[in-house]
Each structure stands twice: as C-alpha cells, then as structure tokens.
Structure 1
Amino acid sequence: MKHKGAFLVIIMLFSLTRFSLGIGENTEHKASVVIPDVALLSLQHDGNSNIELMGTSSSVAGSKIEMGGEATADIWLNYSSVCHKNQKRKVTATVVGEVPEGVIIKVKADNSVGTGKGELGKTNGTVVLSSNPSDVISGIGSCYTGSGVHNGHLLSYQLEIDEDMFYQASENKLASVHVVYTLTDDN
C-alpha cells in the first residue's frame, strides 16, 4: 500500500505539472499586419530654394546674348514610397506660370545618393519643362531616399533659347515661374 500511495502522489504531481505548464494545449488568435500605401515627396535645401537663370549680354555690337550653362541650387528631391509588388511610381515636373517665348527651361535629376534603401527611381536625364508634366524620375518601387540635403536626387536647371522664336517675341522683362513636382503612379 505504501507504494500505491507514492505512485498516486507521483501521478498527481505529473498531472498538476502538466496542467500548470499547459502541455498538450494550444490556443490561437489572428494577427494582421497592415502595411500602408505611402507616396510622399519633398524638396530639401539649405537656405533659399529660389534659383535665378540669367542671360548674359555681350559687350560687342552684333553678338547674341548667351543663355546657357547649368544652375545648381542644392535642391534635393526626397521621396518615400510603399506600393504593391508590381506597381511603379514616377516623379513629374510641371511649370506653372508663363515661360517667355523662345525660352527653354530644362531640369536634370542626378542619380540618388545618400542613406536611401529599396527600389529607388532612375533619372530620365535632362528633360524640357512645360505646362505639361515631364517625367523626371521613373521606376520607383517601395523605397525611401533618406531625408534632407545630400539625400535623394540633386536637381540642376538649364536655360536655353530657340533663337528664331526668342528674337521675334522677346522683351526685356522678368519672368517668374514655379516648378511643381508630383509623385504619381506610373502604371
């Protein structure tokens, strides 16, 4: 009998231990992970973001004015994007305001640099700006460029003239335009 009592105590201890540790029992609940759709864009700069593109007059009679060269104003294009697996986005640029007749404004976005990660967009080189959207960067997937200056795409601007149009329609005046950038779906 002595052994039966000890055996009974061992079985009870085993059962209590098994019950208290939850051995052999499972329970569950559903956990959902929701990843938001993100499309954020900003221009970052140190100081003033305004750029001035100027022509240079000649000091020799009969010479044309020079409109050329590149203006880099240390304006950086930053973006964050989270999209569907096969979805791509792009950055477009549009001029708001009146560009003088015969004047051509171009923008170039350099390749992305800095702390960004993911499927960063590819630059489309130098593009002509107008009142219609021009694709500046394309092929953007889920990524981020990093924020602030020295992250993302450095922008530079170029001014050219169509001599035939310019000399027929130009006048001595200041023309001020805005360049508007938009991050939008590409497909």
Structure 2
Amino acid sequence: MKKIIFAIALLSGIYGESYCQTTSHDVSIVIPAVTMIRISPTTGNTKTLTYSAPTTAGDPITGAVATGADLYLQYSSIMGSAVTDRKIYVTAATSSTLVNGLNVKVAAATPSSGTGVVGTTTGAQVVLAPNQTLASGTTVKVLDGITSCYTGTGATDGSLLTYTSDVLPATLSSAQYGALRAGTYTLTVTYTLADN
C-alpha cells in the first residue's frame, strides 16, 4: 500500500511541474465582390418580332409574334457590405426612324433556378415607346431585389426573357403610321446588373 501511495505522489510531482504553451495566428477570409451577367444562349440569341399583314383591306398591321430561341438572363452576384440590393435594368436603342410608332416590351421572369436571393420580376416593361423616347438610352428596371446569388448556367437557368411588340393604331399619329416602311430593322437591347 505504501508503494502505491509513493507512486501516486511521484506521478503527481512530475505532472504538477509540467506546463503547456499556446500560439495563434489569424486566417483571413476574402470574399470577392461579383457582378456578372450574360444572355444564354451566348450564340444564336437573336429574337425576331414579325408583324402580321391585315387580312382585310382597310385594317392596320397587327401585333408582332416573337420567334427565335428562348433567352435567359444568367447572373452571379456577391454584394458589397454597403449595398442593400441590386437590380437589372434594360435599355434599347435603334438608329432607324422608320419604326417610329412601334412599341417593344420585354418581361424578365423571376428565375426559377439559382441559390441566394435571385430577385423578382417587375413585369413587362416598354423598352421602345411609340415616340422612341426610351430608345436614346433611358434605363428601365426589369428585375428587383437581387442580393448575393447565382442563377445557374443550364439551358433554362435564369430569368426567361419574353418580347412582345404592338402597333397601337388608336394612339399612332398619321405621321407615325405613314412613316412605317417594310423591312427588317435592328433594335439593340442591353441589360445591366447594378447596385440599387
């Protein structure tokens, strides 16, 4: 019994004199600010709005039907600390006065894919008005409430873009309708992902 007590006392003495040390350092976590947007598919993404000739003499041409591949806005966003949300704006421009009087609208749907806060649609928006006041670069909001997110890059990921176009016979002036000419005209539509 004395041997056991002596052994315990000896061990206590050894461990009683031991000590430990600690050291530390910082690990920095760097998250980049990200603001990226594209239209998918990236090739062959032209939409065509074709107006219909009247079926009865005396009637005007009627609203256009959009053809071409389905287009999706795909984007990646990591917000800065001072930013509360982001939006996607659209602007359109054309150099042709021969389409003065036409109305082009686009609706960017709320994305059904993605992770984070991908935002919500603001509904159909006019990007080219009958008097073309929006064709000079005025921006129109199509998606709102985006924070840090990504939509995905699959064929149907992101915000589906739907284009419509109308001739508005009740509101067009005689001069506007009289200036319309048969042909194919280019409207350049630009989307911007921006803070607030």
C-alpha contact (below 8 Å) 1:92/1:137 kept by paired residues: yes
TM-score, length of structure 1 as denominator length? 0.82
Per the alignment, residue 50 of structure 1 pairs with: 46
1:108 alignment partner, SS class: strand
Specify the code of the residue in structure 2 equivalent to 1:148. G
Equivalences for residues 27-42 of structure 1 within 5 A = 27-42=23-38
5 Å matches for 1:1-187? 10=11, 14=15, 24-45=20-41, 48-69=44-65, 71=67, 73-84=69-80, 87-98=84-95, 100-114=99-113, 116-129=114-127, 130=135, 131-163=137-169, 164-165=172-173, 166-186=176-196
Structure 2: gaps (5+ residues):
128-134
Residues 1-27 of structure 1, C-alpha deviations (whole Å, 9 max, x = no match): xx8x978974786489x56xxxx3211
SS in 2 for 1:54: strand
- For the 8 Å contact 2:45–2:68, the answer to whether it is kept is no
1:71 to 1:107, Cα distance in 2 relative to 1, 3 A = farther
Distance (whole Å) between structure 2 residues aligned to residue 60 and residue 82 of structure 1: 55
CA contact (8 A) 2:49 2:67 kept: yes
Shift of 1:53: 0.3
Cα offset, 1:78, TM superposition = 0.6
Cα contact 2:110–2:143 (8 A) shared by 1? no
**CA distance, structure 2, for counterparts of residue 52 and residue 70 of structure 1:** 5
TM-score (norm 2): 0.78
SS in 2 for 1:55: strand
- Structure 1: runs of 5+ lacking an equivalent: none
Tell me, in whole angstroms, the C-alpha distance in 1 between the residues paired with 2:64 and 2:183.
18
Equivalent-residue separation in structure 1 for 2:66 and 2:182 (angstroms): 22
CA displacement 1:33-75 (0-9 Å, x = unmatched): 1111111101112862111101111242112111244557310
